[in-house]
Amino acid sequence: MPEGPEIAREADRIRAAIGGESVERVRFAFPELKRRSAIFTDSRVEAVTPRGKAMLVSFDNGLTIYSHNQLYGKWFIRNAGRLPKTGRQLRLAIETKEKWALLYSASEIEVLDEVSLSHQPYLEKLGPDALAPSTTLESVLERLETKRFMRRGLGSLLLDQAFVAGLGNYLRSEICFEARLHPDQRPFDLTSADRRRLARAILTMTRRSYETGGVTLPASRAARLRTQGASWAKARHWVFAREGAACRRCDENIQRFDLAGRRIYVCRSCQPNRRAAN
Ligand SMILES: [Zn+2]
């Protein structure tokens, strides 16, 4: 499933294609939405906003199209009149004079006004977005220290969109490694310096991945690996998807295990499980 950085880059692409443009037609596949198509004709696309793993396309008629891709949804941008070659089902088309923004396979699409937008169940539950400029190190730190999140294991906490929105599975591994913390530890077990390092890693890893298109290694390090012949995929992460490979800091083998139903990767030497040792 794409994580916050991927959704944000997708929003950038959609915005670049149809942002500010006048809508010629909106098409919905779901019968319950079809009758609402006409109210979008001649409206203008005001904003394209990623929220956690959802996408909001807002129009100057006061309505917002909410979509959540779940596992399968995919946006395509095409010149007007062109459709991608795909076996997927078209679920939503936002058509402007020059460009079409096409959403395939997504199962969750809603048309919301201002009131229903503020009560949308998924959006209502979201914590602050890791990519939003208003989300600061101090605000993440404060959240880590609340009763609600303090005693949650990092492995599950970092996947919880109600804690910080936009994190996901590869970011979870990368954040724990960057902060040199084992995912079984809880904010409660950490020193305040540890918690500050964790808050910083949450923002750094997510924002770097957004800027680089999915690379969580520092740019200089990734570039050096590429000049040594590493593929993009092999010069991407500290630990994620690197089971058995040497840790980039200490040479220890990276290990993989399952946590909260998803795979996670750690270096046991850089990320000792202090909780287990206590
Ligand atoms: Zn290591």
How confident is the model over 123-164, as pLDDT tens digits?
Answer: 999 999 999 999 999 999 999 999 999 999 999 999 999 999
181 alpha carbon – ligand 1 mean position (Å): 11
- Non-local CB neighbours of 259 within 8 Å, separated by 6+ positions: 153, 155, 156, 183, 184
pLDDT above 60 (res 278): no
Q: What is the DSSP letter of 269?
A: T
102 in Cβ contact with 80 (< 8 Å):
no
209 alpha carbon – ligand 1 mean position (Å): 21
Structure tokens at 10: 């997708």
Q: Lowest-pLDDT range, 50-54, 80-84, 246-250?
A: 50-54
For 219-262, write each residue's pLDDT tens digit. 999 999 999 999 999 999 999 999 999 999 999 999 999 998 89
Say what percent of the chain tops pLDDT 90: 93
* Residue 234 is among the residues annotated as catalytic for this protein: no
Q: What average pLDDT does the chain have?
A: 95
Which domains, and CATH codes, for the chain?
A: 4-125 (3.20.190.10), 137-277 (1.10.8.50)
158 alpha carbon – ligand 1 mean position (Å): 21
**pLDDT tier for residue 276 given thresholds of 50, 70 and 90:** low
pLDDT above 90 (res 2): no
E strands, the chain, are: 23-28, 45-51, 54-59, 64-68, 74-79, 90-96, 99-104, 108-112, 255-259, 262-266
* Residue 262 is among the residues annotated as catalytic for this protein: yes
pLDDT above 70 (res 204): yes
- Which of the residues 27, 234, 248, 262 is marked catalytic? 262
In degrees and rounded to multiples of 5, residue 25 shows phi and psi of -165, 145
- Across the range 209-223, mean pLDDT stands at 96
- Across the range 190-201, mean pLDDT stands at 97
Collapsing DSSP states into helix, strand and coil, what is residue 161? Answer: coil
237 alpha carbon – ligand 1 mean position (Å): 13
**pLDDT tier for residue 277 given thresholds of 50, 70 and 90:** low
Q: Which pLDDT belongs to residue 99?
A: 98
**pLDDT tier for residue 107 given thresholds of 50, 70 and 90:** confident
79 alpha carbon – ligand 1 mean position (Å): 47
Q: Which of 119, 104, 210, 198 is nearest to 166 (CA)?
A: 210
- Which of the residues 50, 51, 53, 143 is marked catalytic? 53
Instruction: Count other C-beta atoms under 10 Å from residue 79's C-beta.
Output: 9
pLDDT above 80 (res 71): no
- Non-local CB neighbours of 154 within 8 Å, separated by 6+ positions: 172, 176, 181, 182, 183, 184, 185, 186, 187, 198
239 alpha carbon – ligand 1 mean position (Å): 9
Q: Which pLDDT belongs to residue 69?
A: 83
* Residue 53 is among the residues annotated as catalytic for this protein: yes
* Residue 35 is among the residues annotated as catalytic for this protein: no
Collapsing DSSP states into helix, strand and coil, what is residue 16? Answer: helix
Q: Lowest-pLDDT range, 32-36, 171-175, 262-266?
A: 32-36
